[in-house]
């Protein structure tokens, strides 16, 4: 007889308002254990509010949510022991070295041999060579990797990443993506919020689109693509327009300096 494990995260009918502003209007979704679940939405969609509710930092007005089988409202301490939260900005102490940041968190979690814990995480996140340097000297990608490493101390089964690549350059984003994939490969459940479509496409096993406080679609990338009709490919030979020629010759800054050089469309140019 096989038993089905309960989802790592279950959200049912969650609502939240701030005075007259209704932020969440009945959110429902489930996250399978060991998967990457992307909550995709624009700024103000309610992503961070939902993460704050799931991490017990904020109380919902209605609905229920469980994390690792624990009700976030009734058993917040059990939830906190099961999760780690990485916010939009790296929460590292810039004065301390990378290793000292990790040792500090390990001591706060009352782990045995904090130094060994720190060294293992430095190696796991390719930060060993930089471990003795002040965190304030790290690049954006390194700081974010250190931040995530700090979040994993104590081996929480679930990690919330709230827009983890905000403000990072393309190379740093790829570094963080690789880190997130490694987390899921190791069995960690990841709930990722993002407003970047390519990030959700690269990382997520399932994607939920949060819009105006509700989940309007939820599925795998392939399932979401099937919502639109299949496209047909047509090959059209495109000739440069006079506008393109003009801007290529004089530069876009000069486009507004003359009214006589208004581009004409291709049909007119061929007359």
- Residue of 74, 67, 156 lying closest to 109 (CA atoms): 156
Q: Is residue 14 part of a domain?
A: yes
- Residue 106, domain member (yes or no): no
4 in a structural domain: no
Summarised one tens digit per residue, pLDDT across range 6-38 is: 899 999 999 999 999 999 999 999 999 999 999
Averaged pLDDT for residues 124-142: 91
With respect to residue 267, please indicate whether it lies within any of the assigned structural domains: yes
Query: How would residue 268 be classed by pLDDT, with cut points 50, 70 and 90?
Result: very low
Q: In the chain, pLDDT over 70 holds for what percent of residues?
A: 86
**Do 88 and 13 lie in a common domain?**
yes
Asked if 163 and 271 sit in the same domain, the reply is no
Quote the pLDDT of residue 95.
94
In the chain, how many domains are there? Answer: 2
Same-domain check for residues 219 and 240: no
Is 134 domain-assigned?
no
* Torsion of the alpha carbons at 167, 11, 81 and 142, rounded to the nearest 10: -20
Same domain as 175, residue 262: no
Residue located via tokens 């304030």: 136
Q: Do 190 and 166 share a structural domain?
A: yes
- Alpha helix (H) ranges present in the chain? 47-54, 76-82, 98-108, 114-124, 140-151, 170-185, 197-203, 221-225, 242-250, 266-269
pLDDT tens for each residue of 32-86: 999 999 999 888 889 999 999 999 999 999 999 999 999 999 999 999 999 998 8
pTM: 0.77
Contact 56, 63 (CB under 8 A): no
- Residues 215, 260, single domain; the answer is no
Q: Are residues 240 and 187 in the same domain?
A: no
DSSP category for residue 229: P
Confidence of residue 90 (pLDDT cuts 50, 70, 90): low
* Statement to judge: residues 174 and 248 lie in one domain: no
175 vs 199: CA distance, rounded Å: 12
- Asked if residue 256 and residue 211 are part of one domain, the reply reads no
Structure token pair of residue 6: 């309960």
- Residue 125 falls inside a structural domain: no
Q: Whole-number mean pLDDT of the chain?
A: 85
pLDDT of residue 56: 95
88: domain CATH number is 3.40.50.300
Q: How far apart are CA 161 and CA 190, in angstroms?
A: 7
Q: Is residue 45 in a domain?
A: yes
**Is there a single domain that holds both residue 64 and residue 28?**
yes
46-55, 102-111, 223-232, 257-266: segment of lowest average pLDDT: 257-266
Which pLDDT score is estimated for 262?
46
Its domain, for residue 28, covers 9-92+157-225
88 and 18: one domain? Answer: yes
Tell me the average pLDDT across 205-215: 93
Is 152 among the domain residues? no
């Amino acid at each position: 007889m096989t038993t089905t494990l309960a989802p790592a995260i279950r959200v049912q009918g969650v609502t939240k308002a701030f005075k007259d502003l209704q932020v969440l209007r009945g959110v429902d979704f489930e996250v399978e254990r060991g998967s990457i679940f992307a909550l995709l939405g624009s700024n103000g969609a309610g992503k961070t509010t939902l993460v704050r509710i799931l991490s017990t930092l904020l109380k919902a007005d209605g609905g229920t949510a469980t994390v690792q089988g624990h009700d976030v409202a009734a058993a917040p301490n059990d939830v906190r022991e099961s999760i780690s939260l990485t916010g939009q900005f790296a929460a590292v102490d810039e004065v301390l070295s990378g290793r000292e940041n990790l040792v500090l968190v390990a001591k706060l979690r009352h782990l045995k041999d904090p130094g060994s814990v720190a060294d293992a995480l430095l190696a796991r996140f390719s930060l060993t060579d930089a471990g003795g340097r002040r965190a304030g000297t790290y690049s954006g990608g390194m700081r974010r990797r250190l931040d995530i490493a700090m979040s994993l101390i104590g081996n929480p089964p679930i990690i919330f990443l709230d827009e983890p690549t905000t403000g990072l350059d393309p190379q740093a984003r790829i570094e963080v993506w690789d880190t997130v994939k490694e987390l899921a490969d190791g069995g960690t459940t990841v709930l990722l919020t993002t407003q970047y479509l390519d990030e959700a496409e690269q990382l997520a096993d399932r994607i939920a689109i949060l819009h105006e406080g509700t989940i309007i679609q939820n599925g795998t990338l392939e399932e979401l693509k099937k919502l639109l009709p299949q496209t047909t490919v047509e090959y059209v030979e495109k000739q440069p327009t006079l506008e393109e020629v003009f801007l290529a010759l004089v530069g876009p800054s000069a486009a507004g300096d003359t009214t006589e050089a208004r581009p004409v469309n291709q049909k007119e140019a061929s007359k």
